[in-house]
Amino acid sequence: MNEQTYITLNDGNKIPQYGIGVYMVPEGPETVNSVKTALQLGVRHIDTAHAYQNERSVGKAVKESGVSRNEIWITSKLWPSEYGEGATAAGIDKMLKRLDTDHLDLLLLHQSFGDYMGAWRDMEKAVRAGKVRSIGISNFESDRLEKICETAEIRPAVNQVELHPYYQQNALKKRLEKYGTVLESWYPIGHGSKELIQEAVFRELGRKYGRSNVQIILRWHIQEGNIIFPKSTNPQHIKDNFNIFDFELTADEMKQIEALDNGQRFFNMSLDEMERTLGAYKPAD
């Protein structure tokens, strides 16, 4: 079994560095089976969101997995339709009910628009009430990042953003250093980009270590200190993705991968565009 690595957050909690994501995995058996497979392999971190509309299936998988709830790290995210003092508190209670759990390990603000400051105050109250262990943000890259970090009583533990070898977010990492906030990566393999995955350096290192190109990319993330949760519903892929803890890239190999950073994003929508197009969305309870 793989030996999972952990990162100590700025609030002292230890988060499993590797997890499984369920973005765009349908509610029902597909989510349940994917999560159960991951948990049975030793994965201990699940990343979901209200907007994904599959929290109930995540909760069902956790209950049926046979793994103690205290060993599992569940992350979910609040959508802006539930931002604001009072509204966020109610949204957290609904989330706990959907997941069928008495606490969340990590709760994130999914987007950086709407009344995110009011939402943050309710999230801080939820931590004090024992409903949530750690709190953080997602998709905060504008100056709204500093606004929330400078005014928060409990500073964000993580910021979840697009992050992969083509877009390594080094400037954002520097901005977060003084807050002790760490980065989580969605699109850890660049949204499955064939151009990225087939880079010569990954082919060469794959041959050297007897691993797939994807495993080399995921191993790079681990050594970079990024938190990752690649998505898959294929049991063999889930197993292969997690099989990255028994080898280590050299410092020179890490530098070769770092040299791939070219500023290329795969999700290209400005904050204003996101607010216009996503702002009216209201996930069902």
The pLDDT value recorded for residue 4 is: 86
116 catalytic? Reply is no
Q: Which of 52, 166, 167, 187 is catalytic?
A: 52
Q: Give the tens place of pLDDT for each residue, 141-185.
A: 999 999 999 999 999 999 999 999 999 999 999 999 999 999 999
Q: How far apart are CA 281 and CA 150, in angstroms?
A: 29
35 part of a folded domain: yes
**Residue 131 sits in which domain range?**
6-190+226-232
Is the model's pLDDT at 1 over the cut of 70? no
Q: Give the tens place of pLDDT for each residue, 169-225.
A: 999 999 999 999 999 999 999 999 999 999 999 999 999 999 999 999 999 999 999
DSSP three-state, residue 121:
helix
19 part of a folded domain: yes
Strands (E) located in the chain: 6-8, 14-16, 20-21, 45-47, 73-78, 104-109, 132-138, 158-162, 182-186, 227-228
184 part of a folded domain: yes
Mean pLDDT score across all residues of the chain: 97
159 part of a folded domain: yes
Average pLDDT for 61-81: 98
123 part of a folded domain: yes
211 part of a folded domain: no
User: Token match 């209950």: residue?
Assistant: 63
Q: Give the tens place of pLDDT for each residue, 120-134.
A: 999 999 999 999 999
203 part of a folded domain: no
Buried b (16+ CB within 10 A) or exposed e, 41-64: bbbbbbbbbbbbbbbbbbbbbbee
DSSP strand pairing (45-47 vs 73-78): parallel
Could you tell me the CATH number of the domain that includes residue 40? 3.20.20.100
The pLDDT value recorded for residue 2 is: 55
Question: How is residue 18 annotated by DSSP?
Answer: B
Count how many domains the chain has: 1
Instruction: Output phi, psi for 277, to 5 deg.
Output: -85, -30
Query: What would the two tokens of residue 127 be?
Result: 């931590």
Q: What percent of the chain has pLDDT over 90?
A: 99
43 part of a folded domain: yes
Average pLDDT for 256-279: 95
Q: How far apart are CA 168 and CA 284, in angstroms?
A: 34
Taking each helix axis as running N to C, give the angle between helix 251-258 and helix 200-209, from 0 to 180 degrees, rounded to the nearest 10: 160
The pLDDT value recorded for residue 3 is: 76
Average pLDDT for 101-129: 98
CA 229 remoteness from chain centre: 6
Average pLDDT for 134-141: 98
Question: How is residue 199 annotated by DSSP?
Answer: -
